[in-house]
Structure 1
Amino acid sequence: MLLLALFALTSLVTTGRALSCTKCSSSSNSDCTGGTVNCPADNECSTTYIEIITQNGTSTNIFRSCSPFKQCNMTGSSTFPGGSLRMAISCCSINNTCSPDKPILPQYNTTAQNGKSCSQCLSINSEQCTPDNSMLCTGNETRCMRLARTDIGYQTSALAFQGCATESICILTNQLFTTSGITTTYNYICNGASLGLHHGALMPLIIFALLLKLLL
C-alpha cells in the first residue's frame, strides 16, 4: 500500500512538472496554431523561425514544439554559395499550454571579412553536396557548417549546403519537426574555420616560402 501511494505521488509530481506546448508548423511568414504535445523534463515550449534564401527564392518555416533549454532564445545565421540561412528560437515555460511569440530573425550578416574561410557547396533536391571551392567568411560567422535538410511525407524535398556560420547556430546538432503529415529534419555539423585564404591564393605563398628557404 505504501509503495502504491509513493508511486501515485511521484506520478502527480512528474505530471505537474510537464509542459504542454502547442505543436504546429507554417511554411509562410504567418504564425501557426495547432494541437498540443507534452515536452520532456529538460525542454521548454518553443517557436523556431527559419528563413533560407537560394537562387530558387526565399522559403520560411515556423515550427511550434519543444526545444532543449540550451537552444532557447538563440539567433544565428549561415552563408553559403548564392544564399543564406537565418534562424531564431523563442521559448516559454509556463505550465499548461504555452506558445512563445514568433522570434525576430537576426540582421543580415555584414560584408566585412573576418579573416576566416570555409569550404563551400550547395545542392538543391539532395541531402549531400561536395565542396568545390572555399569562401571568405564575414561578420560574426566564424565557424564552418554543413547542413542537410529533408522533408518527408506527402511532399518530399531536400537541401544541403556548406559555408560559414555563427558560433550560436553550432550548438544545434539536429532538429526534428513532425506536423501536418510532413517530417522535417535539420542536421547540423560544425567545425573550425581556416585562415581566410582561398585555395588559389595559398599556392603562391607556399612557393614563395620554399624559394625563400633555398636562397637563405
Structure 2
Amino acid sequence: MLLVALFVLTSLVTTGRALSCTKCSSSTNPNCTGGTVNCPDENQCSTTHIEVITQNGTSTNIFRSCSSVIQCNRTGSSTFPGGSLRMAISCCINGSCSPYIPILPQYNTTAQNGKSCSQCLSINSEQCTPDSSMLCTGNETNCMRLARTDIGYQTSALAFQGCATESICKLTSQVFKTSGITTTYNYICNGASLGLHHGALMPLIVFALLLKLLL
C-alpha cells in the first residue's frame, strides 16, 4: 500500500513539473493558436520563424512547440543557388508561455569572406547533387546540406547545399508535428574551404612547382 502511494505521489510530482507549450503552425497567421503539448526534459516553449526563398517564390512558416535548450534563442542564415534561408528561434520557460515571434536576421549581402562551398538545389526531392561551388559571404563560414520534408495530407520536399552560419549548423535537426503534417529539417555541416575554385587553384600550384624547380 505504501509503495502504491509513493508511485502515485511521484507521478503527480512529475506531471506537475511537465512544461506545457502551445503547438501550432501557420504560413499566413504569425499569431497561430492551437492545442498544447507537454515538453520533454531540457526543453522550452519555442517559436520558430523560417523563411525560404527559391525560384518558386518566398515561403514563411511559424512553428510553436518545444525546442531543446541548445536550439533556443538562435538566429542564422544560409545561401544556396538562386535562394536563401533565414531562421530565428525564441523561447520561454514558464508554463503555457507563448514566446514572441523572433525577428529574422538581415539578408546576407556583405562582402565575400574567402570561403567556398559546393552548391546545388532540388525542389520536391530530399537530395541534390552539387555540380559547382559558390563563394560565401558575411558570417556564413560553414558548408551545409539541408533536407526538408513535409509528410501528411500534403507532401513536399526541398534539398540544397550552400554556405551557412555556424548557428544554423548547431541545430542538427528539427521536427514539427502540427495540423496533420510532420515537417522535418535535417542540417549536415562542415567547414568551408578556401574561396578558390579548382580551375583557379591549379595554375597557382603549377607556378609554385616551377618556381621551386628553378630555385
TM-score (norm 2): 0.96
Post-superposition shift, 1:4?
2.3
1:127-142 equivalences under 5 Å are 127-142=126-141
> How many residues align structurally?
215
Give the letter for the 2:130 counterpart.
P
Does the 8 Å contact 1:28/1:59 carry over to 2?
no
Instruction: Specify the alignment match of 2:178 in structure 1.
Output: 179
Post-superposition shift, 1:5?
2.8
Give the letter for the 2:180 counterpart.
G
Instruction: Specify the alignment match of 1:208 in structure 2.
Output: 207
Instruction: Specify the alignment match of 2:27 in structure 1.
Output: 27
Task: List 4+ stretches of structure 1 deviating above 4 A.
Answer: none
Instruction: Specify the alignment match of 1:76 in structure 2.
Output: 76
TM-score (norm 1): 0.95
1:108-119 equivalences under 5 Å are 108-119=107-118
Report the Cα distance in structure 1 between the residues aligned to 2:31 and 2:70, rounded to whole angstroms: 23
Instruction: Specify the alignment match of 1:145 in structure 2.
Output: 144
Please tell me whether residue 101 in structure 1 is matched to residue 100 in structure 2: yes
Kindly provide the CA deviation profile for residues 22-56 of structure 1, in whole angstroms up to 9, marking residues without a partner as x. Answer: 10101236321111110001100101010001111
Report the Cα distance in structure 1 between the residues aligned to 2:153 and 2:8, rounded to whole angstroms: 42
Does the 8 Å contact 2:115/2:136 carry over to 1?
yes
Give the letter for the 2:186 counterpart.
N
Is the partner of 2:77 in helix, strand or coil? strand
Percent identical across equivalent pairs?
Answer: 87
Does the 8 Å contact 2:122/2:159 carry over to 1?
yes
Does the 8 Å contact 1:29/1:60 carry over to 2?
no
Instruction: Specify the alignment match of 2:11 in structure 1.
Output: 11
Report the Cα distance in structure 2 between the residues aligned to 1:22 and 1:91, rounded to whole angstroms: 12
Report the Cα distance in structure 1 between the residues aligned to 2:117 and 2:159, rounded to whole angstroms: 15
Is the partner of 1:202 in helix, strand or coil? helix
Cα separation, partners in 2 of 1:43 and 1:3, compared to 1, 3 Å:
same
Kindly provide the CA deviation profile for residues 112-135 of structure 1, in whole angstroms up to 9, marking residues without a partner as x. Answer: 111111111111111111111111
Report the Cα distance in structure 1 between the residues aligned to 2:73 and 2:29, rounded to whole angstroms: 19
Cα separation, partners in 2 of 1:127 and 1:214, compared to 1, 3 Å:
same
Cα separation, partners in 2 of 1:115 and 1:29, compared to 1, 3 Å:
farther
Cα separation, partners in 2 of 1:129 and 1:82, compared to 1, 3 Å:
same
Report the Cα distance in structure 2 between the residues aligned to 1:28 and 1:188, rounded to whole angstroms: 25
